[in-house]
A and B are shown apart, each in its own frame.
Chain A
């Protein structure tokens, strides 16, 4: 077998999948911005960038949490962490739904 510690291999693989996902997200986001010709780096845009990328921040947080909990080998920590992440995701989804319904209700500016 390969002379490498299993855990390191595992960390490489799980990190790779999240990094790949983040890279794809940034690529798609950048692509859509270019199409909309809204690449001006104004302060407002930077705030929006931060908001739009909440999903990416969640991913990075998850990566750290998963590696830590598996490294410790605690099922309780893993379970509790998952519940916290689920609450964050539900809040994110509800906020998105609220924003979407507000956008639908208000007349389109474009």
Chain B
């Protein structure tokens, strides 16, 4: 066991290695495993997946509480049979809920494992990438641009390492980190520790290596993580379902009080009246809704994983399906995402090797076990390694660096060679050229005249129009100073251009067209210039309505931005802050906005968008901020994911519509009948039994097939539509309940209040009510002709028909006798079949009428 101390900042890296019984070669795998057992996983305490917790949660359901109350009341008033029956219902209901929720949660936990944060750790002298949860104190970890620091570390090596510690300190300006010793007395604040890397912070520049000093809850982040927990706002669907639930509960409460009062007034026993009122209330509430939503989302997430889409936040699936605007960058979506340095030359097409040497020196890529960072800088390194030109940088010593920022779109370095200092600048041609007064012409530096300026402009224009991405390289001699700044980026001489290609993706047009057909408008947010972006779109035959540049956007008021975002296809040369402005404007215009990004600076936009989508190869910070992670950066993969999202939304909506149309009708007619009948139309335990059977039949609804018209267009949650649907389809069920009352009372003579007549009435109504309640799903689940033009899911059909068969034979069984049912005459079954057939045809006819006047 390592004796923990707090002042690793004040001791030399070699002493840090010693303190943790490790070395530059890292721990041995065996020792790491031993420490993992001692210190535990490197993760923050979060609610663990536990079967017991899922089970206990079942009892937090209001309906279960009401049922327990019913069982106690019934038991207290010597209604032992009712009490046993209600307790059995509770047990079955809890088992059903537990089984489904356990399975659903397990799926989500398993899926999340697919997008774990990785760390590059050196063990037994070899670097390898492991799940960051497996890090232990003493591990030697390397970090690169875009990485989320996986644990608290003492820096032992750094190269231009800069970290954003906003998550800990609130300061968004990057902090430089080195391995230098610090002389600090007492307990320093995190921002004072410039030789420490803290868990959760983000590497924005350079690279480094550190020794893990603490993991999991012992880190600084772990200590304050509870207060840092970032909660996502509720999705539109969550808000809608909550509102709907509240509306139902209010209605149920009012109805239950009403039924109890009326039954008490007409002289029915108080216990009968109370149990009946509570049973009707339970029958009304779609208590399965949370479970159906969870099952829908989790099974959907599982299906989406099969189409390479990993869902990190389940509730975002619904918004994913409802998304109508997708903002994405160009690289990897419209292009292959393989940036290659194609060529380099001076203005006179001369391949001057200094262009490569200078661009290797003035470069933000990190070359270690892997080349990471800016893709264009990485492509220059790749080229130089392949052509053996890396050696050319050897005589140079880097003195200072002015890093790349989106506002400047360039970076510069000061280097020394043979005692002479040179400032080299590299970046977007227009940015670099604005700092140039000279251009190198045939080996001579000449002032930029109008002619030269025009030829530079023409060259840049020509490259852009051909779809090449280009960057300019410039330099000048500079005097020795103690420090350098961006002010020194002046009077430069243009040396030449580097030309990159990233070929258009063959299926990009197909993907954009498919998204368009699905009602999703694609907007391209790129750091490239307008011409390059337009050329790619032209090559792919993607129609471009309008192009807005970053500088143009800066000049716009918020009202103008709101108008511009509607008609613009390409936003070129934009900064990460402007991405955020565009997303905010689109959201303010009422769109459900998706954003796809994989860069270090994309995290705020990923958080801001309704659906943040990243890719598996993205930097950690983007993956962490995203709701959905694609295993392949491809718009077609995204389109498939959207389709799945819409299916899930469709099946959840079906359950809600079904619950309102049949449950409501049944319970209202039961309430009305209880007032004028000389006996209860159905015993409380009979209602509960029917409710349970109905729940079982609904369990497979999330696996149902969804018609094409449901996935064709984004559909938002519309409470107004649900209300209209309830008002229209609810009375159908009531009508047929009343009809059954009439048949049982006046055709089968069950109007006399004898036990056998009552049992006959209750059995007749139970079977009819159950048949209509369950079978109507086949009509309501589609706008088309049931079975003929829209086939229900296999499991839905099997389970629904099995439930109907079971409900039909119950009155003839011992269980039926226990529940108070009696065998029904043959004539009844003939009438029932005819009546239910009429009911289903009538609901289907009603559906034609309803969808003609109500759009959804």
Question: Is A45 located at the chain interface by the 8 A CB criterion?
Answer: no
B541 CB to closest chain A CB (Å) equals 25
For residue B442, CB closer than 8 A to chain A, the reply is: no
Contact across chains for B850 and A13 when beta carbons are under 8 A apart: no
The reply on A6 being an interface residue by CB < 8 A is yes
B227 at the interface (CB under 8 A from A): no
Q: Contact between B738 and A14 (Cβ–Cβ < 8 Å)?
A: yes
- B848 in complex: contacting residue of A66, A75, A96, CB < 8 Å: A96
When A2-B675, A79-B831, A82-B834 are in contact, do A25 and B849 touch as well, CB less than 8 Å?
A: yes
Could you tell me the distance in whole angstroms from the C-beta of A101 to the nearest C-beta in chain B?
10
Report the Cα distance A99→B633, complex, angstroms.
44
Q: Closest B-chain residue to A29, C-beta based?
A: B853
Nearest neighbor of B852 in chain A, beta-carbon distance: A52
**In B811-856, which residues have CB < 8 Å from any A CB?**
827, 830-831, 834-835, 837-838, 841-842, 844-846, 848-850, 852-854
> Chain B contact residues (Cβ within 8 angstroms of A): what range?
35 or more
Within 8 A of A (CB), among B653-697: 669, 672-673, 675-678
Is B739's CB under 8 angstroms from A21's CB? Answer: no
Evaluate contact between A6 and B745: CB separation under 8 angstroms: yes
Which one of B176-184, B342-350, B728-736, B769-777 contacts A? B728-736
Q: Is the beta-carbon distance between B845 and A93 smaller than 8 angstroms?
A: yes
Complex: chain B residue closest to A74, CB-CB: B747
State how many angstroms separate the Cβ of B505 from the closest Cβ of chain A: 34
Are B838 and A75 in touch, CB under 8 angstroms? no
In the complex, B519 has a CB within 8 A of chain A? no
Which A residues are CB-close (under 8 A) to B738?
A: 10, 13-14, 17
A92 to B850, alpha carbons, bound, how many Å? 14
| B845 and A70 contact, CB distance less than 8 A | no
Query: In angstroms, how far is the closest chain B Cβ from the Cβ of A67?
Result: 8
Residues of B within 8 A of A9 (CB): 676
Cβ–Cβ contact A32 & B854, under 8 A? yes
Contacts of A85 in B (CB 8 A): 838, 841-842
Find out whether the CB atom of B747 lies under 8 angstroms from the CB atom of A17.
no
Q: In the complex, A17→B741 CA distance in Å?
A: 13
> Are A58 and B842 in contact, CB atoms less than 8 angstroms apart?
yes
Residues from 547 to 564 in B contacting A, C-beta threshold 8 Å: none
In the complex, B724 has a CB within 8 A of chain A: yes
CA distance A62 to B841 in the complex (A): 13
Q: Name B139-178 residues within 8 Å CB distance of A.
A: none
A78 near B743 with CB under 8 A, answer: yes
Q: Name the prevailing secondary structure of the A interface residues.
A: helix
Q: Does B486 contact A (CB under 8 A)?
A: no
Q: Is B91 an interface residue (CB 8 A)?
A: no
Complex alpha-carbon distance, A93 and B786, angstroms: 12
Q: Is A89 within 8 A of B854, CB to CB?
A: no
If the complex has contacts A55-B845, A58-B845, are A89 and B838 also in contact, measured as CB distance less than 8 A? yes
- Report whether A93 and B848 are in contact in the complex, using a CB–CB cutoff of 8 Å: yes
Whether, in the assembled complex, A24 has its beta carbon less than 8 Å from a beta carbon of chain B, the answer is yes
Q: Across the interface, do A10 and B853 meet the contact criterion of CB distance under 8 Å? A: no
Q: A1-B266, A10-B738, A55-B849 are in contact. Are A21 and B837 (CB under 8 A)?
A: no
Query: Which residue of B has the minimal Cβ distance to A15?
Result: B738
Q: With A and B bound together, what is the CA distance between A100 and B416 in angstroms?
A: 79
A60 at interface, CB cutoff 8 A:
no
B734 and A25 contacting across the interface, CB-CB below 8 Å? no
Known: A2-B266, A21-B735, A89-B838. A10 touches B728 (CB 8 A): no
Contact partner of A73 (CB less than 8 A), chosen from B678, B728, B732, B746, is B746
Asked if A83 CB lies within 8 Å of chain B CBs, one says: yes
Contact A28 B854 (CB under 8 A): yes
A85 to B845 CA separation, bound complex (whole angstroms): 12
Q: Which residue of B lies closest to A27 (CB)?
A: B727
A82 with B837: in contact, given A24-B727, A24-B731 (CB under 8 Å)? yes
The reply to whether A93 and B745 form a contact with Cβ atoms under 8 Å apart is: no
The residues of A that contact B732 with a CB separation of less than 8 Å are: 21
Q: Tell me, yes or no, whether B20 is within 8 Å of chain A by CB.
A: no
Does B40 have its Cβ within 8 Å of any Cβ on chain A?
A: no
- A13 and B852: CB pair below 8 A? no
Q: Which residues of B contact A (CB under 8 A)?
A: 266-267, 669, 672-673, 675-678, 724, 727-728, 731-732, 734-735, 738-739, 741-743, 745-747, 751, 785, 827, 830-831, 834-835, 837-838, 841-842, 844-846, 848-850, 852-854
Q: List 17 A-B contacts (CB under 8 A).
A: A4-B676, A9-B676, A13-B672, A17-B734, A21-B728, A21-B732, A28-B850, A32-B853, A55-B845, A58-B842, A66-B742, A75-B830, A78-B831, A79-B830, A86-B837, A93-B841, A93-B844
A interface residues with partner B (beta carbon < 8 Å) = 1-2, 4, 6-7, 9-10, 13-14, 17-18, 20-21, 24-25, 28-29, 31-32, 52, 55, 58-59, 62, 66, 70-71, 73-75, 78-79, 82-83, 85-86, 89-90, 92-93, 96-97
Q: Which 4 A-B pairs have the closest CB atoms?
A: A9-B676, A32-B853, A89-B841, A70-B742
